[in-house]
Amino acid sequence: MPRMIFVNLPVADLAKSKAFYEAIGAVNQPKFTDETAACMVFSDTTFVVLLAHEKFSQFTSKRIADAHSTCEMLLVISQEGRAAVDRITERAVAAGGHEAREKLQDTDFMYSRCFEDLDGHIWEPLWMHPQAAVQVPDAFAL
């Protein structure tokens, strides 16, 4: 079975956040969704679990970071090509997010942009040339 990742994000308004993630291409998995949480599927191995603050607080005793003023992480998600990077970023902005940096990363082998969701979580859609991905040093292999 391939490894999967479940990114759990605290959100202020579950319904609005669910609509935002649907707008950028995620599909809701109703089996793992209720009034406190929504499982949003990006691929067979990538899931974003949106948790209302009260629900998120059940998993940690730490204060929930205000991602609008503090950066708690950068979430990078691969895309099929440069056009897909642009498409997901433009959808995010149209759905109420905003582009998080002015300068995009654009080299011969890598292209990325950056946006924030409704709660300030930073996403970086990234395309990497397949040959560059193959040459990633073994130190980065899991």
More confident position, 73 or 54? 54
**Number of Cβ within a 10 Å radius of residue 72:** 14
Percent of the chain with pLDDT over 90: 79
DSSP letter at 6 equals E
Query: What's the confidence (pLDDT) of residue 94?
Result: 98
Place of tokens 């949480």: 37
Give the mean pLDDT of 58-85.
93
- Which residues make Cβ contacts (< 8 Å) with residue 54, sequence separation at least 6? 36
75-130, pLDDT tens digit by residue? Answer: 999 999 999 999 999 999 999 999 988 777 888 889 999 999 999 999 999 999 87
Kindly give the residue spans of alpha helices, DSSP state H, lying in 57-100. 82-94
Whole-structure pTM value = 0.85
Kindly list the distances between the CA atom of residue 54 and the CA atoms of 47, 49, 60, 95, 124, in Å, as whole numbers in the listed order.
Answer: 20, 14, 11, 24, 27
Kindly give the residue spans of alpha helices, DSSP state H, lying in the chain. 14-23, 53-56, 82-94, 130-134
Q: Which domains does the chain have, with CATH numbers?
A: 1-60 (3.10.180.10), 70-142 (3.10.180.10)
* CA 57 – CA 136 distance, rounded (Å): 37
**Number of Cβ within a 10 Å radius of residue 59:** 10
pLDDT band at 139 (very low <50, low <70, confident <90, very high): very low
